[in-house]
Amino acid sequence: MPNSPIGKGETTVSQETRILGIETSCDETAAAVVENGRYIISNVVASQAAMHAQYGGVFPEMASRAHIETIHQVVATALSQAHVALEAVDAIAVTRGPGLAGSLVVGMNMAKGLALGSGIPILGINHLEAHLYSIWLVEDEAEPNFPLLGLIVSGGHTELVLMKDHLVYERLGGTLDDAAGEAFDKVARLLGLAYPGGPAIEQAAESGDPTAFNFPRAWLEGTWNFSFSGLKTAVLREVRERQPEIEAGVEAPRPGLPISDLAASFQAAVVDVLVGKTLAAAEDYQAREILVAGGVSANHALRQAFQLRAKLPVRVPPLALCTDNAAMIAAVGHWRFLSGQRDALDIDVLPNWMLKG
């Protein structure tokens, strides 16, 4: 950008950046242009959800093929909507991991191609870190105060992280089995609801009684870890009791199954544990604020429970920024760029990349 001397060999240090973000870790092909880590100039997301819906989940091979088909168009649209030429961005921030290997590679190769042709630096970004940084994209709000307690709840992860400063983390715990979003997706399938399961469960739960079934809560005392597989099994048990012959996801549940009550009670159990453990960790680590991010943070019951029970400020991104997008990747790119990160063009994807300090 015109007045962004960092990385362009000049002596003045500016905090101003314009970053192109690219995200292909799962089933959204996304690109965005973000200025100063805060202002979304363009944010394009091509979702494959409809394609995967017919199979009840993401098929990795199909996901990467769909990324290949759309990535060029998505990046071109993000740049043109921002009225920005590639040469006018300071860096290309691309998701390096965690995620599906075959999907990550598509975004990474796109970024490398752009970097090679233009000489613009490339920055490999952690997708989980990016979910936390989606909070910084809420323009009108003041910057959060460190230390922050971050809960990242998505289709692949349930992570509790202490964020001590920009780019400085301590991972406190995570799920031992299913991620929260994965549990929503699996239980939705079991109840014959659509994919992705989170929104479908939330909708079914609206007319249900959250106390109808007393589903188990795995508190895993003494740790900051989570477990949702027992809860999923408990829902399956209730379904089988009523329909012994049912095979999860294969056959649509028949009339008579209390879908709304099951959905509401399941959701209440997930929300209870997520909120309870996050608040306890925030108190233990004397966090000043809580950040909740990732696809499951779109859930209204979760948002409401945090607002009701928390004594300290809780920030949750607007719905459009909860699920996967490239603006959040570009937001981290801003901070990584200012910290001096520049990755070599032989940078590889890291499908199992954990968020560390």
Distance CA 147, CA 138 (A): 19
# binding residues, Zn ion (CB under 5 A)? 2
Place of tokens 């769909």: 66
Under rule CB under 6 A, residue 196 binds ligand KG4: yes
Q: Which of 154, 267, 278, 297 binds Zn ion (CB under 5 A)?
A: 154
With CB under 5 A as the contact rule, the residue among 28, 129, 272, 324 that binds Zn ion is 324
Select the binding partner of residue 144 from ligand KG4, Zn ion, none (C-beta < 5 to 8 A, by kind): none
Under a CB-based contact definition with an 8 Å cutoff, are residues 152 and 133 in contact?
no
Residues 77-106: x/- map of binding to ligand KG4 (CB under 6 A)? ------------------------------
Task: Give the tokens for residue 241.
Answer: 């009791």
| Binder of residue 196, out of ligand KG4, Zn ion, none (CB less than 5 to 8 A by kind) | ligand KG4
* Angstrom distance (rounded) from CA 277 to CA 283: 10
Q: How far apart are CA 84 and CA 89, in angstroms?
A: 8
Q: Which does 184 bind (CB under 5 to 8 A by kind): Zn ion, ligand KG4, none?
A: ligand KG4
262 vs 293 by CB, closer to Zn ion = 293
**Interaction pattern, residues 273-302, with ligand KG4; x per rule: CB under 6 A:** ---------------------xxx-xx---
As a whole number of Å, the CA-based R_g of the chain is: 21
Interface with ligand KG4 in residues 301-330 (CB under 6 A): 323-324
Nearer to ligand KG4, 97 or 199 (CB): 199
Q: List the helix and strand counts (H, then E) for the chain.
A: 11, 10
Pick from 76, 49, 45: which is nearest to 62 by CA? 49
Using an 8 Å Cβ cutoff, are 162 and 147 in contact? yes
For residues 86 and 239, what is the distance between their CA atoms, to the nearest angstrom? 53
Binding site for ligand KG4 (CB under 6 A): 26, 154-156, 181-182, 184-185, 196-199, 202, 294-296, 298-299, 323-324
